[in-house]
Amino acid sequence: MRSRQRMFAAVMRLLLKCLRLGRRRRFKLVQQVEQLWHYGHLCLRSLLYNSFTNGDVVLDSLFEPIYWLVDHVTRWFGVVFVALVIGLTSSIVAIVYICLLPLILQTYTPAWICWHLAYGHWNLIMIVFHYYMAITTSPGHPPQAKDNLTGVSICRKCIAPKPARTHHCSICNRCVLKMDHHCPWLNNCVGHYNHRYFFSFCLFMTMGCIYCSISGWEMFRDAYAAIERMKLLEKERLQVAANQTYYQTPPPTFSFHQRAFHKSVVYLWVLCSSVALALGALTLWHAALITRGETSIERHINKKERQRLQKKGKVFRNPYSYGSWDNWKVFLGVDVPRHWLTRVLLPSPHLPHGTGLSWDLPPCVTKQHAPLLAI
């Protein structure tokens, strides 16, 4: 009996030792896992630590694959967008010359004929000139060497000097002087040397579309009514053909020329009106930016800087703004009054003020404005 009790006690002691060892091992395993977790977390933070990291930086990092896809798609489809602009514009010009111009010469008075011919051809020349210059003119790139460059930083993507107002274009994979944005409809960046061509093209294209929409409104109404009448007559013709007797005559049909004429007029008015609304809004947006002396990229930067300084009780001043009127003179390159005719109302390939590397006071500006920061 006693031997059984001793055996039972020995088994119980062995079982308790096993449980204690299991607990100790599990405890050590948990400790090791926690140590590895803290060590890995510390290594990750040490590798990715950045004092400027915030929610925007993290969000940009998460969306980096989407940005990469959009950049490559935009790069490869740029030629398609340029061909689309040329094709649509050419179709409108062809409709005007083939369909509308003979009607204008037959029905309008000589004064209105002269007005339409003069304004229409001037507007067309300005559109073609500025679009050609916008897609063929380089926006400007900073030199690779840092010689004779003051106040520059280093681009973290192309590891090259980056002067003030210069930004890296992920689509062109280069830094662009005074970069505004990359325009897929130009297949080119909008920067220091072609910003004026881009805005002038948008302005004159909007003016041309508004001109076509207003001038062709009455023709559009007549053409639309004629198309609806053609549909009704076609339905009647089919009904008569189905129930035709020996004394019934089918209704008259429209010729191919009449159908093409009416549909071309409707196509012209709808396309011009749509482009006038969309491109007009974009033109007004860029006009507001030019009035404030900033680009599309600088607007976001200046907005954040304005909010940051406002919390400190300071006022932000844009160092590249010389006042609304002077900003337009600097942008358009107007130094003397005659330049409003020769450089704005007529095609002009003149260069902008400065080189885009430094931003000295332009000669057309009458006085120096406030510095960057004012308390």
Handedness of CA 207, 213, 218, 223 (dihedral sign): positive
The answer to whether the CB of 204 falls within 8 A of the CB of 210 is: no
Q: Tell me the C-alpha distance between 72 and 63, whole Å.
A: 15
**Nearest Cα to Cα of residue 131 among 188, 195, 209, 197:** 197
The answer to whether the CB of 163 falls within 8 A of the CB of 151 is: yes
**Nearest Cα to Cα of residue 215 among 130, 115, 346:** 115
Task: Please give the backbone phi and psi of residue 197, each rounded to the nearest 5 degrees, phi first.
Answer: -65, -40
The answer to whether the CB of 216 falls within 8 A of the CB of 100 is: yes
Give the number of other Cβ atoms within 10 Å of residue 269's Cβ. 21
Handedness of CA 97, 103, 105, 111 (dihedral sign): negative
The reply to whether 183 belongs to the active site is yes
DSSP H or E stretch at residue 168: strand 167-169
Catalytic residue among 169, 183, 202, 364: 183
Inter-CA distances, 372 with 100, 207, 306, Å: 55, 36, 11
Name the residues annotated as catalytic: 183
